[in-house]
Amino acid sequence: MNPPSRNVERGAATREHLLGVATRLFAERGYEGTSIDAVLTETGVSRGSLYHHFKGKDALFDAVLEAVELDVGRRLVAAVGTDSSRDPATALRLGCMAWIGIAGDPVVQRILLIDAPGVLGWARWRELDERHAFGKIKQTVAELARDGVFDASMADLFAHVLLASMNEIALLVARADNQRAAIRHARAAVDELLRRLLRPT
């Protein structure tokens, strides 16, 4: 009989394998074009094992989305850095610029921006985003409000406006024929937007 720790490790490895393959399939084929049977074929995992880890296709997609959100969060933190002395305006600008580049990733485009709101519903999509990227935006905007950059009563609204703007720009970049040029133009536009938003009143 295998020791409990070995079984836990094997179960965790199976779950990660399923998530990795499902992420690739959802990114390539979209949610509707990806079946449980396709995941089973690609992974070689039994149906019973898959359903042990995930109740169904929606649950599998939910877990994939959270993994994508975590990865985006790590990439944003790497771009912004962890210097506690950095002012929030600089951190926000660095994060927004990094997001434009990250949103060029086909996995992020298809899973997070295109399929997630329709598959999981807006509420669940926003719940996950608030735990990750959107949560960081709200925190930084709140810091700016405390610094007197704008009225604190409008901080939450500004965070939503900024998120919507960044996601729309990301979708425009995703659909562009020349993504390098689109990213360059998008960064220039966002830089101007933030300059106007964050200028002293």
Q: What domains can be seen in the chain, in order of their start residue?
A: 4-196 (1.10.357.10)
Q: What is the mean pLDDT of the chain?
A: 89
Separation between Cα atoms, residue 191 and residue 94, nearest integer Å: 10
Place of tokens 């002395």: 85
Is the pLDDT at 84 greater than 80, yes or no?
no
Residue 16 confidence class, pLDDT cut points 50, 70, 90:
very high
Is the pLDDT at 117 greater than 60, yes or no?
yes
What backbone phi and psi angles, to 5 degrees, belong to 87? Answer: -70, 150
Q: How many CB atoms lie within 10 A of CB 81?
A: 11
Separation between Cα atoms, residue 167 and residue 184, nearest integer Å: 16
Q: What is the pTM of this model?
A: 0.86
Q: What is the pLDDT of residues 66-78, one digit of tens each?
A: 999 999 989 988 9
